[in-house]
Every structure is written in structure tokens, then in C-alpha cells.
Amino acid sequence: MDLFKKCETCEQIEQVKAARAKGVYPYFKALSTGQDTEVLMNGKKILMIGSNNYLGLTSHPEVIEAGVVAIKKYGSGCSGSRFLNGTLDIHVALEKELAEFLHREAAMTFSTGFQTNLGIVSAIAGRNDVIVGDKENHASIYDACRLSYAKLLRYEHRDMEDLEKILASIEPDKGILIVTDGVFSMTGDICDLPNIVRLAKKYGARIMIDDAHGLGVLGAHGRGTAEHFGLEDQVDILMGTFSKSLASLGGYMAASSKVVEFVRHVSRPFIFSASITPASVECARAALRILSREPERVAALHNISQYMRDGLINLGVKIIKAQTPIIPIYTYQDEKTFLACKMLFERGVYVNPVISPATPIGQSLLRTSYTATHTKAQMDFAMKQIKEVLDILQNA
């Protein structure tokens, strides 16, 4: 059989063809401006409520200038891995600043967020270990578990009774890593960290938090899920990304010095990848400086997100209770999700369509997310359009 036969017959491609034929294909819309609360997309002015630019720093002059200066000084790339010729003094500085901000002994950086999870988990967990993860963990965590060769056991989403049953069933000679998203990227709810910590202590497990959507979002200072719960000294490994609150590209691990040193020397995704570009490093450093000195941005993000939540609830739109800037609106059916996105785009609002496998079958949704620099007037406009589109679809 022809290896490429699958390229013509797989279910996802058939779905793409059908969506294009109906004029509701929602992906790969081209922006001709940078990420901001309003953008030009496919040549149209659009209110952006589908970005992970949580603190609004991608357009901050200080962040932009930092990137420009870095390119002029260091060039466009590093032409090698961190392990060999690709470590710049600014890589070292960024790692030191991250460790200090997160109250950790050490930190190390990776070239992307996805690669960060691959690099950490595949290094820390091996054939004699067990990884216990929330069923709604990010795809990068699942791929990381496969790469590690450790046994993966999954507990029902945020179900601590199920987590304890699994932990109790693991042989005592196995190393155990509990890994979970801090803020779940599709639903916006937060892991039950207090009970995870309790169970980890009871069963001798280590804890890793993927805080890609928690950094800059949770905690009085934006340090994420652990700060939010007052458990910063109880989490063994913190993972995060630069592509969201820190307005750049890349990822990091923060942990004890011995764990960071171990991962730095055995992690294949780290050793065999080119290092983060100079501009990305300096943009992340600038964004981190702004977050450190302006924690009020975290409060502004919470306030505008809560304003949108309250507004949607008052309009009768069903949403889940949460405390993050991710607000999912369930549409349940894939085709209905695509149509809702198309209608909202035509009305000047961009949202993200989320269908299986990113969500369980029958749980398709519109993923909306907010930025500290959004205004109440923009939220009023967005919620009006969302309500009207949902009503039209309900009555169709």
C-alpha cells in the first residue's frame, strides 16, 4: 500500500474538505499585524479574544526594543545547541532571573514550550518509573510520557479519589511523578494542587506542574499555580513557556539545582536542539522584568476576565466557574463550532474553535481568552456578538 494513502483518506482531512466546501473552515487565518487586543486578520479588523498574550506584552515598546537590540548585538540565531556553541551570556542571565523570580535554586530554558515538556519528562522518568497524569493534560505531556518509556497512568480530570486509587496501586519500588497542567488550556480550570501535594507526600511521589497558562495569570505576583495556593515550596518541578505571558518563544524548567543539572546533561530534546534565538531571549527577559515590577497587570487581567464572565452569565450564556482568563463556551458539535466561529469573525470577533481530539467527542467549544489590556468597551462588544450568534444557532 502507498505510504501516502493516509494523506487522502484520514478522518481529519475529510473534515477539512467538508468544512472548506461549506465555507466554515476556521484555521490558518493570516494576521498582518502583531498580537494585540485588536488585529488585522485576513485583511479585516478583528477584536482578538483568542490569544494567549495574557499580559498584553507582545506589543510593549520595552519588549520590542529588547528584541531589536539583541539582534543587532548577537545576530539572528545561535547556530548550535546550548550544549556546545549555542550558549550566550543572555541565556545564562535569563535562567538566573527566572530562578530568582520563581524562588527556585535553578532554571534552564528550552527552545519551545512543547519541547520543554518532552525534555523534562523524558529525562526524569524512565522504564522503572510511573507517571500519573490528569486525563486533560496538554498534548505535549502525553508525547513526553511516550518518549520517556515510563508507564503512564491517567486519573479522571481533577478527581482526587481516582488519583489516590492509582497511587495506592503502584508498586513501592517504582519512582512516581505526578504531572498536571496548573491551568488547563482548554477549560481554564485549575488543578487541585493542595490535594495533589497531600497525596504526593502520602505515596512518596514527586510533583511537576505545567504552568504554561499559569505564569503571569495566577498568584499575587504572577508566579503561577503554586503561588496561587501558597504551595511554592511543595512543587518539585515547575514548567512554563515564554509564548504566553512573557511575549516571546521558548520554555523553561525551574527546580532544585541537582534536578536541573541532571536534566541539562541527559535530556536529548535539550542537547540536540538549537538554542533560543537572541531576540527571543531578550524579549522574554524584558517581559519578565515588566511582570516583576508591575504585578498590577496580573490584577488587571483578573478584573477584565471577571468582567467578561459576569457579563456572559448575565446574558444567560452558560460557562464553567473558574478564575482564569480562559473562558470556554460549549457548542458541543464540531460543525456548530465552525459555524459559530465564522459568524463571529464576520461580526469582528475572533475566537478559537476547539474540537476533538483537543476535547472529548461531543464537547466541542469556543475557547475565548483575555488580555490585561482589553477594555470593558471591547468586552461589551464581544459578549453582545457571542450572545447573538449563540441565539441564532440555537433557533436555527
Known catalytic residues are 185, 213, 244
Rg of the Cα atoms in the chain: 21
Q: Own/partner pairs for 379-382, CB < 8 Å, 24+ apart? A: 379/304, 379/307, 379/308, 379/311, 380/311, 381/47, 381/348, 381/349, 382/47, 382/49, 382/308, 382/349
Q: Tell how strand 106-110 and strand 251-255 pair up.
A: antiparallel
Maximum separation of any 2 CA atoms in the chain, in Å: 62
Tell me the three-class secondary structure of the chain, residue by residue. Answer: CCHHHHHHHCHHHHHHHHHHHCCCCCCCCCECCCCCCEEEECCEEEEECECCCCCCCCCCHHHHHHHHHHHHHHCCCCCCECCCCCCCHHHHHHHHHHHHHCCCCEEEEECCHHHHHHHHHHHHCCCCEEEEEECCCCHHHHHHHHHHCCEEEEECCCCHHHHHHHHHHCCCCCEEEEEEECECCCCCCECCHHHHHHHHHHHCCEEEEECCCCCCCCCCCCCCHHHHHCCHHHCCEEEEECCCCCCCCCEEEEECHHHHHHHHHHCHHHHCCECCCHHHHHHHHHHHHHHHHCCHHHHHHHHHHHHHHHHHHHCCCCCCCCCCCEEEEEEECHHHHHHHHHHHHHCCEECEEECCCCCCCCCEEEEEECCCCCCHHHHHHHHHHHHHHHHHHHHC
Residue 172 φ/ψ, nearest 5 degrees: -65, -15
